[in-house]
A and B are shown apart, each in its own frame.
Chain A
Amino acid sequence: NAGVMQNPRHLVRRRGQEARLRCSPMKGHSHVYWYRQLPEEGLKFMVYLQKENIIDESGMPKERFSAEFPKEGPSILRIQQVVRGDSAAYFCASSPIQNTEAFFGQGTRLTVV
């Protein structure tokens, strides 16, 4: 059973481009969480999704950021018109049911140049 898979591991985008980050949860896990970690900072919650539903997006910026977890395929975190301040490590975690241990992926490191 593979762990949580995130790709790409590293992503470089120019200012104004779109960034798409993918997360494939562990097999049997239907709950996905996205976190952002700025350099020298702790992880900050962004969004919590179940299959085809956004449960809590209270940590996600209102503009330029969106997330989805379709019935088939990975969860996607999309950042439109990226700015330098979006440079960070983005982690995805999954769990089988709510409020159980969440397993983290290795993260995607986004660099905006």
Chain B
Amino acid sequence: KNQVEQSPQSLIILEGKNCTLQCNYTVSPFSNLRWYKQDTGRGPVSLTIMTFSENTKSNGRYTATLDADTKQSSLHITASQLSDSASYICVVTESGGSYIPTFGRGTSLIVHP
């Protein structure tokens, strides 16, 4: 069964600090991995997408890494801002078939001033 596990479940940091969120998956065969940001009461918004051949992708202060061998990904946020407070969701898509993505449960990040 395809699974996506995220850690930590929740995280509290001070404004300006860096943090790293983890994602482990068992989805196979692998097509791509995306990180989404979901603000409270809103729909998820895509941050990064990586395919098998990519091991890092940046989007401003967000940097995602992918190790397809160990089936792990991380999302690093630098110089956190209050607006980074949100849920960060790791989504892995299987190749072949109908390409249905598997969602992790998300990491809830709270940035305090």
Contact = CB atoms under 8 A, between A and B. Distances in A.
Interface of A: 4, 35, 41-45, 48, 55-56, 58-59, 91, 93, 98-99, 101-107
13 contacts: A42-B105, A43-B89, A44-B103, A45-B100, A56-B98, A56-B100, A58-B100, A59-B100, A99-B93, A99-B95, A104-B44, A104-B45, A106-B43
A113 B66 CA distance: 44
Contacts, number: 49
Contacts of A41: 105
Contacts of A59: 100
A106 B103 contact: no
A43 B99 CA distance: 16
B99 A98 contact: yes
A22 to B, nearest CB: 15
Interface of B: 31-32, 34, 36, 41-46, 49, 89, 93, 95, 97-106
Given A55-B98, A56-B98, A56-B100, A101 B106 contact: no
Given A42-B104, A42-B105, A44-B103, A101 B49 contact: yes
A98 B97 CA distance: 10
Top 6 A-B pairs ranked by shortest CB distance? A104-B43, A42-B105, A99-B99, A56-B98, A43-B103, A104-B44
A1 B68 CA distance: 35
B101 to A, nearest CB: 7
Given A103-B46, A104-B43, 11 more contacts: A42-B89, A43-B89, A93-B43, A99-B93, A101-B46, A101-B49, A102-B101, A104-B44, A105-B43, A106-B43, A107-B43
Contacts of B102: 45
Contacts of B99: 98-99
A59 B103 CA distance: 13
